[in-house]
Amino acid sequence: MPSDSRISKVQELIYEIRVGEVMKTDPVTVTPQMPMSQLREILREKRISGTPVVKGDTLAGIISIEDFIKWLADREPDCPISEKMSKDVQTLYADEPLTQAVNKFEQYGFGRFPVIDRESQKLRGIITKGAIVEGLLRKLEIDHIEEEQVYRRRIKHFFEDILADRVSLFFRYEVAGQDFKRAGEGASRLKSSLRRLGLDPQIIRRVAIATYEAEMNLIIYTKGGRIRVRVEPQEIVVRVEDSGPGIPDVEKAMQPGYSTAPEWVRELGFGAGMGLTNIRKCASRMGLHSAVGKGTTLNIHIVVENGVTRGTEGIDSAA
């Protein structure tokens, strides 16, 4: 999402969110009779820089660390907090939008405002700039997660939403021969797409590995070809086709360790004659047909036991 739309989202939120939603409830309070000398311990222990002074249920004033320092500096004798607190307290109502709070922080430059109930005038909590930032971040995060969940749910139920006797999704990827830079791009794009469909991560992994090996074969041995994928609720079929040169001895090619790969391919970590063996390991069923001079077709079938739409919830977030 572009950054300017994020800003307008924050602007929207400060009108939408109420002070009561982000304030700290059950704030630390002191009584008007408490001696100033005790204040230090409370501020230090609770790691706060100011606190409302409350008489019974009602707000009597507010005392801050600045008031305390002033009292210390003046070397005055100990006295009740009520003598040093600010009595003319600026407050906010719990049902006011956050924008009111933001304005007040700007206008007065205070570190905190007590939040009171509009009807009972009782103290409900305290709001700081930190609480506002935290509240906004929490809300932004929740919105973002919800958006993502809606998106995932929509795509996950794709198959269920379509009414037909048979539903298939087709993907096609073109692969250029000898293009090692882009090797694996097809498999990578396929993997991302299957993830979005919410398939089981282990099924996706098997499809991705088999497709990647097949894609490497196209790049190493042929002038290029195409990968066609058919996704159905019960089965994924990957068909890899090229137009030559073809495999003279299919049976031999299927043997683990048998390879005709040139040295430069081995240097890249492939060409050890394990590709087709790996593909067979990942597949539920595999078919290889080849004619020298014409081309090769490889069909990889992967059966989805639980059905595509019932894939596990735990899709990892890594792209």
Which residues would be at the binding site for another protein (CB under 8 A)? 180-181, 183-184, 187-188, 191, 201, 205, 208-209, 212-213, 216, 268-270, 272, 274-275, 277-278, 281, 316, 318-319
- Specify the residue, 112 or 191, whose C-beta has the smaller distance to another protein: 191
Question: Which pairing describes strands 169-176 and 224-231: parallel, antiparallel, or unpaired?
Answer: antiparallel
CA distance 180 to 187: 13
- Specify the residue, 89 or 261, whose C-beta has the smaller distance to another protein: 261
- Specify the residue, 22 or 236, whose C-beta has the smaller distance to another protein: 236
Q: Residue 259 corresponds to which tokens in the numbers above?
A: 């390879």
The DSSP result for 75-144, as a single string, is TPPP-BGGGTSBSS---EETTSBHHHHHHHHHHH--SEEEEE-TTT-BEEEEEEHHHHHHHHHHHHHHHH
In eight-state DSSP terms, residue 76 is: P
- Specify the residue, 202 or 234, whose C-beta has the smaller distance to another protein: 202
The three-class DSSP label of residue 200 is: coil
Determine phi and psi for 100, rounding to 5 degrees: -60, -45
Determine phi and psi for 71, rounding to 5 degrees: -60, -40
Least separation in angstroms between CB 114 and another protein? 39
- Specify the residue, 28 or 274, whose C-beta has the smaller distance to another protein: 274
User: What sections of 31-88 are H helices per DSSP?
Assistant: 36-45, 65-73
Q: Go through the chain and tell me how many residues it has.
A: 319
Least separation in angstroms between CB 21 and another protein? 30
Q: Residue 48 corresponds to which tokens in the numbers above?
A: 């706060």
Angle made by CA atoms 253, 229, 257, in degrees to the nearest 5: 20
Question: Which pairing describes strands 24-25 and 50-55: parallel, antiparallel, or unpaired?
Answer: unpaired
Least separation in angstroms between CB 117 and another protein? 43
Least separation in angstroms between CB 166 and another protein? 29
Least separation in angstroms between CB 269 and another protein? 4
- Specify the residue, 18 or 206, whose C-beta has the smaller distance to another protein: 206
CA distance 20 to 91: 12
Least separation in angstroms between CB 169 and another protein? 20
Least separation in angstroms between CB 284 and another protein? 17
